Structures are given as C-alpha cells and as structure tokens.
Amino acid sequence: MKRLIILLFITTGFSIAGCGSGDDGHSHGEGADHSHEQPAGQSQQEHTHEQEEDQHEHGQGNASQNSGTQREGSGSVTQWTGETELFMEYPEIIVGREATFAVHLTRLSDFSPISNSEVYFTFRSDNGTEISRRETEVQTAGIYGPDITFSEAGRYDLTIEIYGMVNDTIRVNGIPVYNSADEVPHAHAGEDPNLITFLKEQQWDIPFGTQEVQQRTLTRTVDATGEIMAAQNSQAMVSAPFSGIILSSQNTSLPVEGQQLQKGASLAVLNPAIQSGEGDNYARQFINAQSELELAESNVARSRRLYEKEAIPQTELQKARIEYRQALTRYQTISEVIQVDTTAINGYGSSTESYRFEIKAPLNGTIVKSYVTPGMQVEAGQPLYRIADATKVWLRAEVPAAQYSRIANAGNAAFSVQGSGQLHEVSDLNGRLISRSNSIDPQSRTLPLIYELDNTESGLPLGMFATVHVNTVTKQKTLVVPKSALLEEEGTYNVYVHVSGEAFEKRRVTTGIGDRGWVAITSGLREGEHVVTKNAYQVKLASLSSEAPAHGHAH
C-alpha cells in the first residue's frame, strides 16, 4: 500500500507543480529542488534566492536556476557525512495529512544502497513537538519511506539515526509544515533543464563514486616508466663448476621457478665428465684434495709429537703446518660450491653415476630462472639457476631526458605496478634513492634512477613494470580532484558535478599540476562541491540520452 501511495504522491504532486520536461520518465528528478537545504529560521525563498545569486556569480547552472515551476512547500535535500549520503524528497506537508518521505541512503565506503539496517526518524518542532518512526524493511534497497502525519504547523528539524551497514546520524533542519494548502508559498521556477538526471538506482547498479573537492598541497612530479628488479647484492647466478651431466635418476626433484629456498638447499646433482677438455678428472681432483688434506693433518700431528720430544727442529713443524694450510685451501676451494656424497667416495671413478657432486643454493631466495632439464649435458660456467632474495628489491625509473633539470634534487617517489591501482610511497617501504645516473641512454633517451625498497610486506613481483611519479621540489596548495574524475574531450577536461542526489552538471575545468593520482584544478570548481570519480562516463552517456530515464523508485 505504501508503494502505491508514494507513486500516487509523486505522479500527482509533480504534475500539479508543472515539473518535468514533457517526458513520461523520471519526473521528480527534473522537477524537485535538489539543492534544497536551508538553515532553520530562514525562509525557503530567501535560501533559494541566495543559491541563485551564488550560482550566477560562479557562472554555472544548478538546481535552483529554473525553467519550469515547482510548489515551494515540497523539497529535496542532499547531504553528506563521513559515512553516508542522504538524498531525501518530501511533498507539501499539511497538518492532518499523511506525508510520505522518500529517503535514499548510500554508504560512502562503496556507494552501495543501505539496507538490512534500523533507521530511526525523529522530527522536532521549534515548540518541542516530537514525532518518531522506526523503519527496518524496504521494498527497494536504499530507499526508506516513513509516513508521517503532523498535528502542528511550523519548522521541524529531522534527525536520522542509522544502525546496521553504517552507524551514523544525519540532521536536516527547517522542514516546513503548513496549516493548510492556502499557506503554501507561491510556486517558484523549476530547475535547470540542462542538469543530467542519473537515478539512485542507476548509481547503485554500477561501480560508482563521488568525492568532495578539497584543498591539498601537491608536489610537482615527473612521470617515468619503471621496473621492479632484484637488488644487485641480493641475487646470484649459479653456474656449472665443471662439464658434466644432470642425470634424471639422481635429479627427480629439481627446484622450479618461483620456489623458495634456504641457503644450502640442494639445487642439482651434477656428474662430471670422466675426462674434461683439459684432461682433468674432477672427481679425482676432489679425492686427491681430500687425501692430501688427511695426510697433511696427520703429518702436523706427527711433527708436533716429535717436536715435543725434541726429535725434530721447529722448522720441520712449521713446514708441516704450511703444507696442511695449503691442502686445506685446495680442499675448501673445490668443495665450496660442489658438495660430495661421502657415502659413495670409495666408488668414485667406477662410473659417472658414482661421483654425485651436489650443487647447493648460495643464499636464501627464490628461483627466478631455471635453465636445467634432467638429462642435459652442461659445460663449465654454463648458467643453471638464477636465485634472488626478493625481500629487498630495486625500483628502476627511466626518466625522460627532457625532464633532467626537474629531478636534480630528486628524493622521494611513488609508484603503481601494472594491474593495480594501489599507489606505493617509496618512503613508506623504507626506500631510498641509491643511484642517479648522469648519463642519458642513447637508445631510450632516458636517465635512470634506482630506489631500494623493503619488499617484505608488499611482495612486489620481480620484473613487474611500474608507473613512477618522481618528486620535484615544487609544492603548491590548491583545489584538487582525483585524476579519475577528469574526462578529456577535444583537448579540454570536464568533470561531472553531483549537484544533488540524482542531478549532475557537466563542468569544464582547467587543470594544473598532478601528484600521485591527484590533479590541481585552477578554475571551474569550488571547494566543497562533489564530483563523480568512478564511472563518470556513465553519467556522460545519460546526458546524451534523448529521453529522461524511466522512474525506478519505489515511491
């Protein structure tokens, strides 16, 4: 029943008021005073007149510059808090007659309609009269329709309390209630026909967002292309120490790209060639080195005993010690990279499978690149694996040569990687500039900057391309909007201003410097206005429609 009453109210009330553009579509969005929100004690005509003068000085259309007519007693209110957007419409309110309020509530965190919530409406008049209603169910998500019958005329302040999807309180002052229809003020001009109607139901049905125009201090930046790279001292190329073969039978669990490894973890078992190109037998070299070390160690112990018995001079003991150190050095040099399976040492030389030289990871990190295939033969020095520790990475920014002078004192920067809208501050990642080249690359005509970043938490993938915004020393306090609010048309920029709940205005703006997704606005907007920042193109499409959209409200 309430749905039918609301529909009848909207159809009848606005037909009498003469609102709309002649279309059979959404009438109240074009006929209502969407900008209405007046202080208590100020007449609605005075409030509207002030709005008209303000908009005339600004040189832009608004909901109070009108071509049609509307009854003065009805109205609409659009307000924003930190959590919620309120768009409320109400009819001429007469004492003793039931009035239905169409209250549209939007959660600003994601611009979704508020539902599954308890909403309390409390009206208080100047003389203390109070009326309360509680609504928990809605036929259309986001639209609440309390039916109120007032017993006394006057100005009422409305408090809306929301508990559920958001916990918020909204206050609307000065809603007029009249003793009779004869007391309703004369009609005033209708709203600007050039305003674009974009219904709440349309806004809620797509990714949508608006943001308040505000003052910020921007730092002029230079844009550059970039890449996330492994830090030079945090990566290693593991190569074959000798010619050999990676037998499938001994390499059933080779590490793969992307796998995390600890220092000392097994990478591969390499069976050296029985005879290398230079005639060296690497297995025999290892056995000889180990044997020489054992003999040298025994000789030192023997020489120490004889010296203590004064059977040999001290020079003999020193000579034994020198030979031991030389043998130890040879053994350590061979075994530093190659780890031998000592359980098979007695079988060395009987077949190529008996050598079992194990290559191990030289650092903690991730396999960035694997060049290994089971069964492959390798030559000495041939790359097998590239390992990188990605907890510390480099961001290499290629700055255009023409911007060289602007980055003379480059310090902090911000960047976003491909496929992500998240903007990372270099300083937030414990980053620092470690290299600034003074040489222009002759091919790309760019100058590289290298920042070192702590990648422990962010987990940025190596090799990912990035857009980098390098700080300059120039700062400016100015009105700003997000870059996403701008639509370019034939070399100029436009935004769509959210005039009221369902009314938007196309506005041409002049832009200034940009900084980390924000753009300075030097003309065309005022502080406190709201602009569409997400899916502004859909509002543009609505402006190109030849007809007003069909009315979708459950009034």
Per residue in 299-353, pLDDT tens?
999 999 988 888 889 998 899 999 999 988 888 877 665 555 554 444 444 454 4
Residues sharing a CB contact under 8 Å with residue 336, sequence separation 6 or more, in sequence order = none
Per residue in 221-232, pLDDT tens?
888 999 999 998
Mean pLDDT of the chain: 81
Q: What is the pLDDT of residue 66?
A: 32
Higher confidence at residue 99 or residue 3? 99
Please state which architecture CATH assigns to domain 2-193. Answer: Sandwich (2.60)
Q: What is the pLDDT of residue 480?
A: 96
Q: What is the pLDDT of residue 381?
A: 85
How confident is residue 117, by pLDDT bands cut at 50, 70 and 90? very high
* C-alpha span between 438 and 448 (Å, rounded): 9
Region of residue 18 (phi > 0: left; psi between -120 and 50: alpha; otherwise: beta): left
Q: What is the pLDDT of residue 148?
A: 95
Q: Can you list the positions of beta strands (E) in 320-402?
A: 338-340, 357-360, 365-370, 377-378, 383-388, 392-400
Of the chain, the percentage scoring pLDDT greater than 90 comes to: 47
Q: What is the pLDDT of residue 311?
A: 87
Residues sharing a CB contact under 8 Å with residue 434, sequence separation 6 or more, in sequence order = 394, 450, 451, 452
Superfamily in which the 212-229+391-534 domain is placed by CATH: Efflux pump adaptor protein, beta barrel domain (2.40.30.170)
**Residue 178: Cβ within 10 Å count:** 18
* C-alpha span between 368 and 308 (Å, rounded): 57
Residues sharing a CB contact under 8 Å with residue 396, sequence separation 6 or more, in sequence order = 226, 227, 229, 448, 449, 450
Higher confidence at residue 66 or residue 448? 448
Q: Nearest to residue 85, comparing CAs of 118, 108, 112, 117?
A: 108
Listed range (117-121, 279-283, 305-309, 537-541) with the worst mean pLDDT: 279-283
How confident is residue 275, by pLDDT bands cut at 50, 70 and 90? low
554 has a pLDDT exceeding 60: no
Q: 64, 190 in Cβ contact below 8 A?
A: no
Secondary structure (DSSP) of 503-518: EEEEEEEEEEEEETTE
**Residue 39: Cβ within 10 Å count:** 9
9 has a pLDDT exceeding 50: no
Q: Whole-prediction pTM value?
A: 0.60
Q: What is the pLDDT of residue 539?
A: 95
Most confident of 120-134, 409-423, 540-554: 120-134
Region of residue 490 (phi > 0: left; psi between -120 and 50: alpha; otherwise: beta): left
245 has a pLDDT exceeding 80: yes
Q: What is the pLDDT of residue 243?
A: 81
Per residue in 366-393, pLDDT tens?
998 999 999 898 888 899 999 999 899 9
Residues sharing a CB contact under 8 Å with residue 210, sequence separation 6 or more, in sequence order = 85, 111, 498, 530, 531, 532, 533, 534
24 has a pLDDT exceeding 80: no
Q: 551, 19 in Cβ contact below 8 A?
A: no
Higher confidence at residue 184 or residue 24? 184
Alpha carbon separation from 432 to 127, 429, 453, 465 (Å, rounded) = 64, 9, 7, 19
Number of alpha carbons in the 13 Å side-chain half-sphere of residue 555: 28
Higher confidence at residue 393 or residue 38? 393
Of the chain, the percentage scoring pLDDT greater than 70 comes to: 78
Instruction: Give the single-character DSSP code of 178.
Output: B
Instruction: List phi, psi (to 5°) of 554.
Output: -95, 55
Q: What is the pLDDT of residue 264?
A: 87
Domain borders along the chain are 2-193, 212-229+391-534, 239-386
Alpha carbon separation from 82 to 168, 211, 482, 514 (Å, rounded) = 9, 11, 18, 25
